[in-house]
Amino acid sequence: MPKADNGGAAGPRVVVLGGTGYLGRRIGEAFTADGAQVHLVSRSPAENGAADPRSVRMDLLNAGPRELTEFFGSVRPDVVVNAAGRAWRADEAEMTAGNADLVARVTQSLADLPHRPRLIQLGTVHEYGAGTPGAGTSEEQEPAPVTPYGRTKLLGTRIVLRAAEEHGLDGVVLRLSNVIGAGAPVGSLFGMVAAHLADAARAQSLGEKPDELRLPPLRAHRDVLDAQDATDAVRAAATAPGDLGGQVINIGRGEAVPMDALIHRMVELSGVDLPVVESVADQPARTDAQWLQLDVSRALRLLGWQPRRSLDTSLRDLLTAAVPTPVNDRKRR
């Protein structure tokens, strides 16, 4: 982690924007365990206040540059992690506000500070658009996103890179693959399946027949990353020596997994007996890329990071948190 300048107090100062969200709370917990002084910034307080290192309530979507500058100036962070943004159940205008406009205000505020922290911006594989089947996408590929989420996250990435070039901001973008783990948002495929399995498990325990799991055709191949591995990548970026300003670094497993096989494995591990039906009826047409796989060699070279957790471990964590029955003790991949 960049050298702390905090008046002799123990531990570097870390600000996590979106600090009570799916990834933000994990990142905050990890830095706290590392001995950092953590500030979790979000509109909503943490669910468990006792476990909250230091919660700061701020409406980031509406906070202006002056408010942000004053906050950063008072905290004097060594690292700022931007885990805030909009992904699910939002239109493109709302995603632009959360994934690009906010990034512009954050980078402007940080560039105005006399003591500049390292900014770690969480990007996404969806910024690239379609990958080449059988191959991993490197950071050198020209992005061509095909979804509103990918387009708006790419805007945020370009804002960080421009701030690094024009203002010398030590800003690095971690392009994350699809992240899974306990507490996955219900708007995501894995979160939705986990919620359905939880309902099915409750029905089964009452002697009722659970509803079948209806999904659109699962033809896509995805690079899927464990949430803890993603958190470790953020920690590695915070502690990497030198200036990472202007770097984009892919963070994923480096392999594309067929989604139909992964969802069926998830159902198998849950121990819930229910059919999975893939149907185009009553399902919106998919517009996202069908092959998403990352080349993660730069992460190993610059950060010393590589994924360590298996897919089964990720699925078990997700299911254990969601399904009120023991997960089957299957052999791990």
Domain map (residue ranges) of the chain: 13-182+224-254+286-308
Reported confidence tier of residue 323, pLDDT bands at 50, 70, 90: confident
Tell me, rounded to whole angstroms, the distance of Cα 176 from its chain centroid: 6
**Average pLDDT over the chain, rounded to whole?**
89
Q: Amino acid identity of 40?
A: L
Q: How far is CA 136 from CA 111, 139, 252, in A?
A: 34, 10, 10
Q: What is the pLDDT of residues 103-121, one digit of tens each?
A: 999 999 999 999 899 999 9
Q: What is the DSSP string of 19-31?
A: TTSTTHHHHHHHH
DSSP output for 274-300: --EEE-STT-PPP-S-SEE-B--HHHH
Two tokens, residue 275: 């059919």
Q: Which two tokens stand for residue 325?
A: 């029955």
Alpha-carbon dihedral 238, 244, 245, 248, rounded to 10 degrees: -90
Give me the catalytic one of 31, 128, 149, 190: 149
Q: State residue 187's pLDDT score.
A: 86
For 182, the token pair is 């306990």
* Residue count of the chain: 333
Strand, coil or helix: what is 70? helix
| Token pair listed for 27 | 């990142």
Residue 294 has pLDDT above 80, yes or no: yes
The per-residue pLDDT for 289 is: 83
Q: What is the pLDDT of residues 244-284, one digit of tens each?
A: 999 999 999 999 999 999 999 999 999 998 889 987 764 55
Express the helix, strand and coil content of the chain in percent, nearest 5 each.
Answer: 40, 15, 45
Q: Which residue has the higher pLDDT, 328 or 200?
A: 200
* Both structure tokens of 291: 């092959």
The pLDDT of residue 2 is above 80? no
Structure letter (DSSP) for residue 10 = S
Q: What is the DSSP string of 180-230?
A: ESTT--TTSHHHHHHHHHHHHHHHHHTTPPPPPEEE-----EE-EEEHHHH
Of residues 93 and 330, more confidently modeled: 93
| Percent share of the chain, pLDDT over 90 | 74
145, 129 in Cβ contact below 8 A? yes
- Report d(CA 212, CA 305) in Å as an integer: 40
Q: What is the pLDDT of residue 205?
A: 87
* pLDDT over threshold 90, residue 50: no
CATH class of 13-182+224-254+286-308: alpha beta
What distance in Å separates the CA atoms of residue 91 and residue 217, rounded to the nearest whole number? 23
What is the structure's pLDDT at 87? 87
Q: What is the pLDDT of residue 49?
A: 47
Task: Convert the pLDDT of each residue in 9-37 to its tens digit.
Answer: 568 999 999 999 999 999 999 999 999 99
* pLDDT classification of 318: cutoffs 50, 70, 90: very high
Cα 58 to Cα 18: distance, rounded to the nearest angstrom: 10
DSSP for 116-167, please give it. PPEEEEEEEGGGT-S--TTSPBPTTSPP---SHHHHHHHHHHHHHHHHHHHH
Q: Is 22 a catalytic residue?
A: no
pLDDT, one tens digit per residue, over 124-163 is 999 999 999 999 999 999 999 999 999 999 999 999 999 9
> Using an 8 Å Cβ cutoff, are 145 and 154 in contact?
yes
